[in-house]
Structure formats: C-alpha cells, structure tokens
Chain A
Amino acid sequence: MVNLNPLNLISGSFRHGVHPQHLKVQTQDLPIQRVPFGSNYVMPLGQHIGVPCKPIVKKGQRVRRGEEIASASGFVSIALHSPVTGVVKEIGEFRTFDGNFSQAIEIEADAFSTQEPNIGPAIDWESMNIEQFIQAVQGAGIVGMGGAAFPAHVKFSIPEGQQIRYLLINGAECEPYLTNDHRLMLERPDALLKGAEIVRQKLGAEETVIGVELNKPEAIEALQARIQPGDPVRVVSLEAKYPQGAEKMIIKTVFGREVPAGQLPRDVEVNVNNVSTVVAIADYFDHGMPLIERIVTVSGPGVSYPANLIVPLGTPVREVLKFCGGLKDETMEVIMGGPMMGRPIASLDAPVVKGCSGILAFTEGQTLKRKEFPCIRCGRCVEACPYFLNPARFARLSRARMFGEMKGYFVFDCVECGCCAFACPSSIPIVQLIRTGKDQLRNTQASEK
C-alpha cells in the first residue's frame, strides 16, 4: 500500500505549512542534565488521553522509585509509577498546569532517594508475543511523548487483517525552541535504535524509517553512524517546515501518501512513534524503568539559563525553572509544550506531566498583544493550512455562530496546528474560534443523544 520511494522526498514534503523561525540555538548545543530531587511530587491520575488510572496505594504507604502507584483502568489507560522513593502523603485534588483541579497522588521524597537509572533487571522482550508486549508497554505507563500523551500501546494493537509495513520514527521536532528530541537523538542513538528495533519486531514491520528535519544535521549523522549495512533501518532527512512532525504530514512527506480522513496511519500500513517514545520503551525493557521522567527543554527569552533537562515527573514547574536560574522579571507568560501548539501554564506550582516536552517563558516583546483587524481575505491562512481547509471561513462562521456549516466544511479534520493564526496578518484568533465551533458541535451532538 505504501512505498518508500526516494522520489517522495525529492518532490518535497507535504504541501502548505509555515516556516517559523527555528529559535533552537539557545539550547541545541546544551547536553541533557538531570534535575535533582526536591521535596514533594504530585502525580495527576489523568496525565494521558483516555481514562484516568486508579490509585493502588494508601496514604502513608512507603513507595520505591519506579513502583506502580496507580493501575490502568481500561484499555485506553495506562499505569502510573512513583518517580521517587518516599511516602504517599496525600491522595486528593491538586492543581494542574491549566488551572483546574485533578485527582492526584502526592509523594514526599525520601531525603536519601537517588536517581538510579537501573530500576530492575532487563526484561526478555524477544520471547513475548504481541499481547504480552502491549500489556508490558501499558504497564510501563508509556505514552506518545510528542506532546499529545496518547497511550503508546493502543497504537500497537493492530486489528486482525491489517499489517504494518513501515515503522516511522518521528524525529522531526518541528516546533520552534524545542530541542529535547534533538539532544536525545544525539546523546542516546543506541537506545533509540534499540527501542525502534523492539517495536519493529513486535509489529512485524519490514523496515524502520527515522525522519529527522534538516536543521538537525548532527542528529542525522549520529544515527547514521550507528546503522550497520543490512540493518532494516534508514534515516531520511526532511525539510524543516511546520508541522512536519504531525503524524499525517510526516507520512505524506516520507511515503507520499495521504492518510484518508477519519482513518489511522495503520490503515496505510504505517506506525508512527516519537523518538522519545521508543527510547522510553528501550529503557523499560533494558533497565526496567517505567515512564517516571522525561526530557524537557526549558527555554525562551524569559528563562535565565536555558537547558535540556531530565525532569522527574511530578516536579513542580517552579522547581524546574528555579534550576534554570528562575524567571526574568519581565516574564509575562509561561507555556507548556512548543510555541505553536503548547498551552499556557496558569500555576507554576503545577507538576510536570508526561506530555510536557518544553517549558517556555516569554517576555513582553514575544507575548502577543497584537491588535486585531478585520479579515481582508488575503488567503494567507488558506495557503498555510496543511489540511487544505479554509480557516478564514471557519473563523467567520464561528463568529456568526453558524456551527453546523462549519461541520460541513470538515472542521473536525482540523488538528489545530496553528499555521493559520501564525500566518494571519490581521491577528484573528482563528484557532480559538475553530475550537469554539468544535466544542459547540460536540455539545449539541451530546445533548441530541
């Protein structure tokens, strides 16, 4: 169904999209550092997309680093583990980064807890069948680490009659500022290739393709240097263009094929995983380490000392920023994730979660307070939208509260990548208006049922 044809890459990447400044120089040459343990860790039960997990520990109970503290409740759910050795201090409502409250487990760290990477013995993955493998990944609490935090094992369960031909490892990292995947490819290429090989064998895919944007030549080199001739792995370089790392876009770029609307990559025989996800898988099978820490890029003009950090999950954002010299006085805004699709952080006391690829602080100059002007139908959003939708029309319909019409123009195909709002010279909040329309449509659909 899909073919890896070198012509795909010569003919260029997916069409449309935008070219924001890369802004990665601040952190791209900084080696990954570990953040030392603090005193308290808060682990929200709903860090992933899907059903929140169920606590299996009690208040006052001692837990070890890497010990399961909440188990998956259902298939689209994952386990949660303690990032630190210590005592369960509280199970209750805690503030999350978006300002809401969520059920979470708070752990008071033991003063002598260490960040030993070898948590358990290596796990024999070769003798596992696919069901056991899926269960293991679910039990390790691994999510897609690109930002959406969708449970990784769900993608690995392929319905009968379908097969995976290519495993596509996504190292595009198209969001400006972020360099966590870049550093990971550079510093841990062996773990990356190991994790990719595990997934490839378990899925029965023919070949692994690692896609990396051209603005990371060192990463491409580091990976290529470790690939032996005859290995079923190859690295392809991709044009640096946003949103190259969006799942359907990278498939279009590498294989020249569109995933039909409403379908999944597996319908075109491809499985896509972020580089950090396969490294997390390798860490689990090699060192028994579940997902209890992740690499976070701390950057932006509001941060005193930008860095790439290994942060134990549950660390308050404030502690991470303190490790980087704190926020500058003129900081106006702190966000989680990249600047194109990230979300604003309402409370700095909220913990770092599994989907947090970056913590960025912006000062007044970068914070958008641009004046909105009427739409002049310039069509820049139309030429930016990688899905070939008409964002200006969505914005107009949403303002007129004509949500039904929006559905007819495929508003649910929109992935909210932000290209349209980035390109708009009139500073119209197009993504917000589209989200409003989607929410209203979902509400009416729910009330009709």
Chain B
Amino acid sequence: MKQRDPELLLQHAPFLRQGMTTPTAMGDVLIALTPATLAGLWYFGISAVLVIGASIAGAVLTEISFSGTERRGESLLDGSGLLTGLLLGLTLPPGLPMWMAFLGGVIALGLGKVIWGGLGNNLFNPALVGRAFLLATFPIAMTTWTTPDEAFWTFRATNFDIPFTYTEIDGLTAATPLGLMKFDQQATPLSNLFMGSTSGSLGETSGLLLILGGIYLYFRRDLDWRIPVSILLTVLVFSAILGLFDSERFPAPLFSVFSGGLLLGAIYMATDPVTSPTTPVGTWIFGIGIGLLIVLIRVFGGMPEGVMYAILLMNAATPLIDRFTQPRVFGHLRGDND
C-alpha cells in the first residue's frame, strides 16, 4: 500500500526481523549434510551418486508436478523437496536399483507430504515414509548391503536394473554392523563405525561427519538440541541397563549409538520441525520415546534396524504430546489451559 507525498509503505509492526528465513534454514541442513554425503560418495563411489540422484529427482519432480502453478516456484525455492530427496537417498543401500530410489522419492513427497497439504502440514517425516514404503515393497533390495571397498568408478550392476526388475546378486554383499551383531553376535570396532568404513546405507556410515553437521546446525540455531541429546542419552542408558542383564546378547551402549542410522535419524530426521513437538517438554518426551523404541525394536524385533519405525511412531504421537505439554500461560494458574 503506497501513499502519495511521499510514497510511504504502511506495514505492520514489528518492523525488524531476525535474519533466519525458512529457505536459509533448509539450506543450512543441506550444508550440514554435505560432508556425510561426500563421505558416502567416497566410500561407495559412483553408485552413491546414482542412488541419491534418483531419489532427489523423484522427490523434486513430484513436488513440482503437484504444486499449483503459483506455488511452483515457491515450493522449489524453500528447498524442502530437495532436502527430503537427499535424506531419503542417504538411508538407501548403495546397490539399490535407480528406479526403486526414484519411486521412493515419489512416494516420500506424494504420500509423505503433498497429500497432507504441502510443507508444514505433514504428520510423518516424508523421507521416512518413502523409506518405509521401499522397505515394505522391496525387502531384499533394501537389505542387500555391498561393501564400501570397491573402486570409485565401479558401477554396481543392480543400479541399472530396468524398472520392475531386480537382479539378485551373489557375491560382494556384506552384513551391516547391526546385522552382524544381531545375527552373529559379532561387534564391529568403534573406530570403524566412527570413521565410516563399514557397510550400510549411504549416509549412515560416518558418525563423526554426521555429528559435525549437527554441531553446525546447533550453532546456526536450526536444530532443537533436546531431540538428538534425549535420543542418544536414552539409547545409551537403556542399552547399559540391558547390558547388566546379559552383556553377551545385548549390544554395548556406544556401539548402539554409532551403528546403523541412529545418528542420521536423531540429528537430521527426528529434528524435522514439522513432525516434532514445539514445546520444550514435548521434545524431551519425543526424544526419549524414540530412544526407547529404537532399542526395543533393534533388540527384540525381527530386523536389525529400528530407527525409522521409532521416529515414525513418535511422529504419530506428536500432536498429542504437543497438546498435553503446553506451558502455563503467564499470569494464569496451571490447569487454566484445559
């Protein structure tokens, strides 16, 4: 609204804003994930590029095709589709056929976000919805882990399977540290877990780089530190308690924290602001719930990994947690809220 003499804008207070915007926050997460992504490329070579690229393409193309013409530019600009595609890609095994990764991206964005009404309205983390779909649909491809010690330019044949086919491979597979632990009671040295030279999905191998990215996000104030901290503490404590009963059968606390997708999930997926509680008390409950579920699923479940289902289950509880943890309003008595 402009006014003659002179042309003055008439806007509403406050006239100052802090510097952070939603696209920069998304950009920060992308930056934070870059080292871990590069490590994935380093260990798994060109296959990593293919898988991550396919999942990003599926996510972004779905985002574009389901946005109205007006919103199209905006929804690309906020970077959330790109981030979902990258996060999904990082949870996939390097030998996954590209068409599966692409389909995962489509489902992640389509069923995980678009049908809820777009950014900010979804109940479940879109990347994990995509992964849950892939794991349910292609259980073998999603649990065939190749070793990270091939040359960079070696193509994994399965990457190029034509859509709706899948070649089962015989050689060159390796169990993940969690699989080794669960099925063979064989622990992987912590240093390997920390640096990333283990088999596993693309982004989950290096604990060090994932933590570095998390620290960056903390200092950029993009990350609610309570969520990763409460998840990690819960997993440590709960694993330690289980270890008191039977240290042979149950994995050691530090091994639990650094193996599998725990750090990737705790730092980058559970902290998705859209699907986590907004109140400080709520975030503690959310994180503790995820930590307990992770250990329970890993130890007693049929699969070695449980981070994905733990986060998705707690996502479902988020509205309820938010509702019951609203703080007392200034000047009111506790209980006035209800």
Instruction: List chain A positions with a Cβ less than 8 A from chain B.
Output: 18, 20-21, 99, 176, 248, 252, 258-263, 327, 331-335, 337, 339-348, 360, 362, 366-368, 370-371, 373-379, 382-383, 386-390, 392, 409-410, 413, 416, 418, 421-427, 429, 431-432
A409 to B11 alpha-carbon distance, docked (Å): 27
In whole angstroms, how far apart are the Cα atoms of A252 and B25 in the complex?
33
Knowing A339-B15, A344-B11 are in contact, say whether A425-B332 is a contact too (CB < 8 A): no
Shortest beta-carbon distance, A183 to chain B, in Å? 22
Complex: A424 Cα to B279 Cα, angstroms: 16
- With both beta carbons as reference points, the residue of chain A lying nearest to B332 in the complex is identified as A261
Residues of B within 8 A of A337 (CB): 13
Report which of A248, A344, A378, A389 forms a contact with B9, defined as CB distance below 8 A. A344
The stretch that binds A, out of B97-105, B182-190, B244-252, B322-330, is: B322-330
A344 touches B331 (CB 8 A): no
CB within 8 Å for A427 and B17 given contacts A258-B331, A261-B331:
yes
Say whether chain A's binding surface is mostly helix, strand, loop, or mixed. loop
Cβ distance B66 to chain A, nearest Cβ, rounded Å: 15
Interface contact A392-B278, CB-CB below 8 Å: yes
Shortest Cβ gap from B319 to chain A (Å): 10
**Docked CA distance A69–B185 (Å):** 93
How far apart are A312's CB and chain B's nearest CB, in angstroms? 23
What 1/0 mask marks residues of chain B from 133 to 159 whose CB sits below 8 Å from any chain A CB? 000000000000000000000000000
Interface size on B, residues (CB 8 A): 44
Interface residues of B in 1-46 (CB under 8 A from A): 3, 5-18, 20-25
**Is the CB–CB distance between B329 and A261 below 8 Å?**
yes
Interface contacts beyond A334-B8, A422-B14: sample of 4 additional A-B pairs, CB < 8 Å, sorted by A: A99-B10, A343-B13, A368-B17, A390-B278
Give the complex CA separation of A340 and B78 in angstroms: 27
A379→B277 CA distance, assembly (Å): 8
Which residues from A are CB-within-8-Å of B23?
373
CA distance A252 to B278 in the complex (A): 25
**Whole-angstrom distance between the Cβ of B166 and the nearest chain A Cβ:** 36
Give me the interface of B with A, judged by CB distance under 8 Å: 3, 5-18, 20-25, 74, 77-78, 118-121, 224, 273-274, 276-280, 326-332, 337
Option from A21, A341, A342, A425 in Cβ contact (under 8 Å) with B25: A425
Please indicate the chain B residues that have their CB under 8 angstroms from the CB of A344 in the complex.
Answer: 8-12
Contacts of B328 in A (CB 8 A): 388
B75's nearest neighbour on chain A, judged by CB, is A374
CA distance A425 to B13 in the complex (A): 16
**Chain A: which residue is nearest B118 at the CB level?**
A374
- The answer to whether B15 and A377 touch across the interface, beta carbons within 8 angstroms, is no
Cβ distance A166 to chain B, nearest Cβ, rounded Å: 18
Closest-CB distance, A271 to chain B (whole angstroms): 18
Across the interface, do A347 and B3 meet the contact criterion of CB distance under 8 Å? yes
Q: Looking across the interface, which residue of chain B has its beta carbon closest to that of A419? A: B14
B278, A335: Cβ atoms under 8 Å?
no
A373, A383, A392, A429 interface centre (most CB from chain B within 10 Å): A373
Q: Which residues of B contact A389 (CB under 8 A)?
A: 329
A424 — which chain B residues lie within 8 A by C-beta? 17
**Residue pair A259, B331 in contact (C-beta under 8 Å):** yes
A418 touches B13 (CB 8 A): yes
Cα of A345 to Cα of B337 in the assembled complex, Å: 38
- B330–A413 touching, CB < 8 Å: yes
Q: Is the CB of A377 within 8 A of B273?
A: yes
- Residue pair A422, B119 in contact (C-beta under 8 Å): no
B11 — which chain A residues lie within 8 A by C-beta?
A: 333, 344, 367-368
Q: Are A335 and B15 in contact, with the CB atoms below 8 A? A: yes
Q: Decide: A422 and B16 in contact? CB cutoff 8 A.
A: yes
Q: CA–CA, A429 to B13, complex, Å? A: 9
Min CB–CB distance A368 → chain B (angstroms): 6
User: Do B21 and A248 touch across chains, with their CB atoms under 8 A apart?
Assistant: no
B78: nearest chain-A partner, CB-CB: A373
A374–B79 CA distance with the chains assembled, in angstroms: 12
Q: Is the CB of A387 within 8 A of B12?
A: no
Q: A173 CB to closest chain B CB, in angstroms?
A: 15
Distance, CA A333 to CA B9, complexed state (A): 5
How far, in angstroms, from A366 to B120 measured CA to CA in the complex? 28
User: Closest approach, in angstroms, between the C-beta of A146 and any C-beta of chain B?
Assistant: 15
What is the CB-to-nearest-CB distance from B177 to chain A, in angstroms, rounded to a whole number? 34
